[in-house]
Amino acid sequence: MSNQQTQQAQPQVAIPLPKGKKNAVQIGCICMMLSVSMYGLVFSTLISPILESVNALGYVSLFSIFAGLGVAIMTPIGGKLGDLIGRRNIVVIPGIICAACGITFAFVRSLVPLMILRLLIGLAQGAFTAAPYILVGLINERKDVPKAMGMLATAIAVGGFGGSIIAGILTDMGFLKIAIMMPSLPLLLGVVLIGMNMPNVKREGKVKIDVPGIIALVITLCGILLALNFGTTMGWTNPIILTGFVIGIIALAVLIKIESKAEEPLIPLRLFKNRNYTVLLIVGFICYFYLNAMNVYAPIGALRVMKVSTTLAGTLQMPRTIVTILLPTIVGAWVGKKSGNAWKAMALATSLVAIPMAVMGFTTPNTSIIVYLVALGVTGIAESFRSVSITPSAQATLLPRDMGVGTSLVNFVNSLAGTICPAVCGVAYNINTAADPTNVENIQNGVNAVFRLASIILTIGFVVVIFVIRPQMTKKKEA
């Protein structure tokens, strides 16, 4: 057998594991993502009864911002910490911290400690959220990675849908504490499975933590993200909001300067010189952009424009959820069969959101709720293609030493889209409703403006896939 045939016969796995350990680690990764989505939806469902129990319903927005800020801060840092303490430990240590804070959260009945615990949960989640994506990329052959990513996407859908329903039922039965603690169960199971079966692989040699870079990153994110979140309510010309933007922009400039000279940069700027990787980051950001438009403004369109019942509006995402539970693993297997299928998956991920958003951009009082149900169901198909194509493709462009930080950066950019989108969509909506926020025609125009904006942005993503990513991947395949 020739050397070439021998190389082709050997599995291309960064960390080869026995089948039993590999399956255990993969199940552990699924449990971790199940917990992450459960925490998100459970807290969204329970935020009112939790804050009502401490007479603090006026802090709903700040409560949510603390959670998002924690994840945004720690996601890029988590990749570098993985290099320092090892891939296994970056799951085990933050996972235990997250579970401990989540369990403690159920017994605290004071606003300030609740806020601190929610921030700590977000920080811990940010540290390990990218780890499951990194681990499945390390223990699987390249052709099997999309399928593994599909399993993670299914876990996210199941955790979000099932977690919120179970949490609601438990709360109605008077078991609020149990509902709050529930997401810690799959998290601890994942920690045990990964901790017992995954070797603690870390980068060889001494790894330095870029402390100045971390400080600059935190100031950048706090300044810009807090200003974006409060700008819609306090006004974009408010001195506090403007100061936040100025501080964030200055900190960003300092961060870039620090990272360009750092020996061990938190965010290696060399990654952005990788054109293939950078374009995938952009497409990933675009593919996440519509989520806030869908989650917030679809119910507004259904309730305030079409005048459907609250119960019916609550079923809007049911078709999407069913699709995202069933389809990702199947699509992942298809993507893994042929390298050229990745760009096709991205094309579908963008176009199958752009089209439904465009259709929903013509909402009127006479629009049938079935239009929304079908449109959101189609976005579930798009989400299934996105979840198994962008991250594996980005990983394929990275050197082994950049796998951790590079994958974390993909997750970080995706989380930024979820933070920036509400501010942008809020501007589009408020421009149309400022004169009279209760007028049905103004609400209709505002909702339509948001959906059309989302459609335009996803169309730009589709164009990037067809005219930039497709030629890149075709050229690489030929080479």
Residue 1 is predicted with a pLDDT of 41
Which pair of tokens denotes residue 363? 């909402």
Q: How far lies 139's CA from each of 9, 15, 144, 204, in Å? A: 17, 5, 10, 18
Q: In a 3-state reduction of DSSP, which class is residue 49? A: helix
Residue for token pair 């403007």: 242
Helix (H) or strand (E) holding 430, with range, is: helix 403-433
Position 47 scores a pLDDT of 72
Residue spans of the chain under pLDDT 70: 1-12, 44-45, 48, 57-58, 60-61, 203-205, 207, 477-479
Phi, psi (degrees; rounded to nearest 5) at 389: -120, -45
Is residue 95 classed exposed, middle or buried when 0-12, 13-18 and 19+ CB atoms within 10 A define those classes? buried
Residue 136, SS3 per DSSP: helix
Q: With contact defined as beta carbons under 8 Å apart, do 87 and 134 qualify?
A: yes
| Residue 19, number of CB atoms within 10 A of its CB | 7
Cβ partners under 8 Å of residue 15, min gap 6: 138, 139, 199, 201
Note the pLDDT of residue 348. 97
Give the start-to-end residue ranges of the domains of the chain. 17-198, 210-263, 272-479
Put simply, whether the predicted model's pTM sits higher than 0.85 gets the answer no
In CATH terms, the fold of domain 17-198 is Growth Hormone; Chain: A; (1.20.1250)
| Residue 399 region by backbone torsions, left for phi larger than 0, else alpha for psi between -120 and 50, else beta | beta
Same CATH fold assignment for domains 17-198 and 272-479: yes
Q: 272-479 has which fold? A: Growth Hormone; Chain: A; (1.20.1250)
Tallying the residues shown for the chain, one arrives at: 479
Residue 31, pLDDT score: 94
